[in-house]
Amino acid sequence: MEMEKLVALCKRRGFLFPSSEIYGGLNGFWDYGPMGVELKRNVREAWWRDMVTGHNEMLVPPDAPATYEMTGLDCTIIMHPQVWKCSGHYDLFHDYLVDCRESKRRYRYDQVVGRWVEAKGRRAFIATAALGQEGLDDTQRKALKLFNLRAKHADQLQWDGPLVSLTTLDDFTAVLGPDAKELGTLTEPREFNLMFETHTGPIHDEKSKAFLRPETAQGIFVNFKNVLDSTRVKIPFGIAQIGKSFRNEITPRNFTFRSREFEQMEIEFFCHPNSSPSWYGYWRDRRYQWYLDLGLAGDRLRLRDHDAEELSHYSCGTADIEYAFPFMAEGEFGELEGIAHRGDFDLRSHMEGKLVRQGDELVVEQDEDGKPRYRGSGRDLQYYNDQTKERYMPHVIEPSAGADRATLAFLCEAYREDEVPDDKGKLSKRVFLKFHPRLAPVKAAVFPLVKKDGMPEVAREIYGQLKPLFNVFYDEKGAVGRRYRRQDEIGTPFCITVDGQTLSDGTVTVRDRDTLDQWRIKKEDCVAEITQRLGAC
């Protein structure tokens, strides 16, 4: 599937719009339209229901080490700045960027690729921000221009190796920047903190500086004790949160995949250190299965364990759930969710102060005077088991998902084209979104075949019965074939049509979006039929 087709459909049918579009949009920000808001709500609600409210704490789920409890939180976006100092985000949450002195463009250092080429006795590294075949074509075009060659003389370009990252180069003097005409215009890479800054109160100075949260997780850690003290949860248990996060990404791109404002669905699962490896395995598999169950099947979805070098300094295990988005180069996958074994890093940081690794140990980082560089809260965040009388620092397993990335993956996976007969029986192309019924923005549409003979009245009555239970849509405008196509394009699983036969025998047709099968049911059975069919999916 070409991404352009999905982007066009998202605009046409009201899934996604560029934010502030009438003013030209704002890079890295997206608005969800009338269909998009329902789709994303369904993703969030499926997650919350499956992970939190639908979880039965009295049963051991298949493959879980034991029974466990789940609860939720909704924390603020702006938190005490010390949170980010102790969590490490203040010092460590950065990307490297390079600037181009000529084009004034800015790039993420690790996202620029290029290849070496020699022609007319000169050698240059031609950089591009495009990947795969697009990157190869782009570098070829630029190299021809740089060496003043016509396309028919492309064989004079002596390419040396494949596309490699700019990070593999020691100096940039022979580099042609992605949007430059001259060599050597890229600056040295420099750090760029991804947290958005703001100020609390009327005075804008260092003291009033605050940050928009770059992840929801920290709100959970700093409320760990509050949850323990205000509920009767016992370890093992998880706290879930869904909410906005903000990252000032250097190069937001690929539709909503890398945005500057996005939503996360995160769980911090607290357990005894001895059982944490088994809980890590449980959550890793459980989260992967969640995407499979909602329709991200096949070879486009994978669970990838991180290599030892990829692991964060505190992590004993991390896996990513990845999806082969259509905008990625062949064989490449993009992260939907990370599942990390975080040990006791986060709770200890908020108790003792920012931690750094010293050999095999995590110790509080000190300043020149031997004092903690960033003081923790000083609160005792250990857990006390009143049955075993054991006091310990819990370990944490963190399944951290992006609601927007999941929504985008479900959209990409759902996009289908086929050929079906139109109103006159002629085969024509149909575009439809094959959403899992739980995710479909509209569950059923109700149509009168024509706007007369009492059909609209019957259709409105059926609509009225379904509406309190499901998001349903009523449509009486235009040819019925066109109405079906409109519903197919937004992924409505079922269409109910009131026709001439309804008036004589009280039956209506139900049409299935995917198979196009049609069958008749009694008009009074519509609620039961749709309930049963949605429930069975």
Contact footprint for ligand GAP (CB under 6 A): 215, 217, 247, 249, 258-259, 262, 264, 266, 335-338, 398, 400-402, 404-405
CA 317, CA 340: separation in Å to the nearest integer? 6
Alpha helices in 192-330 (DSSP H): 217-222, 224-230, 276-293
- Least distance (Å) between residue 97 CB and ligand GAP: 15
Task: Report the residue number, 335 or 453, with the smaller CB distance to ligand GAP.
Answer: 335
- Least distance (Å) between residue 436 CB and ligand GAP: 19
- Least distance (Å) between residue 34 CB and ligand GAP: 22
- Least distance (Å) between residue 181 CB and ligand GAP: 31
Task: Name the residue among 476, 479, 484, 467 with its Cα closest to residue 527.
Answer: 467
Task: Report the residue number, 114 or 338, with the smaller CB distance to ligand GAP.
Answer: 338
| Tokens of residue 9, six digits | 């459909």
Give the bridge partners for 253, in sequence order. Answer: 258
Burial class of residue 110 (count of CB atoms within 10 Å of its CB; 0-12, 13-18, 19+): middle
Task: Report the residue number, 259 or 276, with the smaller CB distance to ligand GAP.
Answer: 259
CA 32, CA 439: separation in Å to the nearest integer? 15
HSE-CB for 498 with a 13 A CA cutoff? 27
Task: Report the residue number, 18 or 506, with the smaller CB distance to ligand GAP.
Answer: 18
- Least distance (Å) between residue 42 CB and ligand GAP: 17
- Least distance (Å) between residue 324 CB and ligand GAP: 15
Task: Report the residue number, 120 or 304, with the smaller CB distance to ligand GAP.
Answer: 304
Task: Report the residue number, 237 or 262, with the smaller CB distance to ligand GAP.
Answer: 262
Task: Name the residue among 502, 503, 459, 500 with its Cα closest to residue 483.
Answer: 459
Kindly give the pairing relationship between strand 209-211 and strand 197-199: antiparallel
CA 345, CA 223: separation in Å to the nearest integer? 15
Number of CB atoms found within 10 A of residue 186's CB: 28
- Least distance (Å) between residue 238 CB and ligand GAP: 14
Q: Which residue is nearest to ligand GAP (CB)?
A: 402
Task: Report the residue number, 345 or 494, with the smaller CB distance to ligand GAP.
Answer: 345
- Least distance (Å) between residue 94 CB and ligand GAP: 13
- Residue 40's H or E segment, with its range, is helix 34-48
Task: Report the residue number, 398 or 475, with the smaller CB distance to ligand GAP.
Answer: 398
Residue written as tokens 């990829």?
310
Task: Report the residue number, 295 or 456, with the smaller CB distance to ligand GAP.
Answer: 295
Number of CB atoms found within 10 A of residue 361's CB: 8
Task: Report the residue number, 291 or 494, with the smaller CB distance to ligand GAP.
Answer: 291
Task: Name the residue among 480, 488, 486 with its Cα closest to residue 459.
Answer: 480
Could you list the beta-strand ranges (E) of 133-233. Answer: 158-165, 175-176, 190-193, 197-199, 209-211
- Least distance (Å) between residue 246 CB and ligand GAP: 9
Q: Is the dihedral of CA 22, 27, 33, 37 positive or negative?
A: negative
Kindly give the pairing relationship between strand 237-246 and strand 69-72: parallel
Largest CA distance in the chain: 91
- 110 φ, ψ to 5°? -80, 0
Task: Report the residue number, 96 or 470, with the smaller CB distance to ligand GAP.
Answer: 96
- Least distance (Å) between residue 85 CB and ligand GAP: 17
- Least distance (Å) between residue 19 CB and ligand GAP: 13
Query: What is the rounded radius of gyration, in angstroms, for the C-alpha atoms of the chain?
Result: 28
In angstroms, what CA-CA distances link 204 with 76, 78, 200? 21, 16, 8
Task: Report the residue number, 116 or 279, with the smaller CB distance to ligand GAP.
Answer: 279
